[in-house]
Amino acid sequence: INPVIVESRGEAEFTEGCLSIPGLHFEIIRPAEIHVKGYDLDGNELDLELDDFAARVFQHEIDHLEGILMETLLTPEQLAESRAAIRELRALGVGQLPEPEVGIGRLRLP
């Protein structure tokens, strides 16, 4: 809960995709290692040193928590390709979600 990257080291390039933009994959450069702090479901503090794939996944998901999509990290050429693909997906009706039947809420610590 509420993860924060407190330190990052190095750089690594890796092919990344996202369920928010189905079917698209781009080479993304991110820090190779990160130090993350946050809380578990019981409110206990977590202190994690992550590298390789785990570091990449955490960074990607923390970006989502902060309202950042993978597109923000793309080169101008990659961004143009992404936007063209999104236009095609919209024309096909992909990505249009039905209204939720239940409300979406925030998780609160006890």
At residue 103, does pLDDT exceed 60? no
CATH number for the 4-91 domain, one of 1.20.120.10, 3.40.50.880, 3.90.45.10, 3.40.50.10800? 3.90.45.10
E strand or H helix that includes residue 55:
helix 52-65
In whole angstroms, give the CA distance from residue 62 to residue 108.
Answer: 18
Q: Which residues are catalytic?
A: 61
3-state class (DSSP) for residue 65:
helix
When pLDDT is averaged across residues 45-72 and rounded to a whole number, the result is 95
> Tell me: the pLDDT tens digits for 92-101?
877 665 555 5
* 39-74 as b/e: b if 16+ CB within 10 A: eeeeeeeeeeebeeeebbebbbebbeeeeeebbebb
- Say what the pTM is: 0.77
Distance, CA of 62 to chain centre:
6
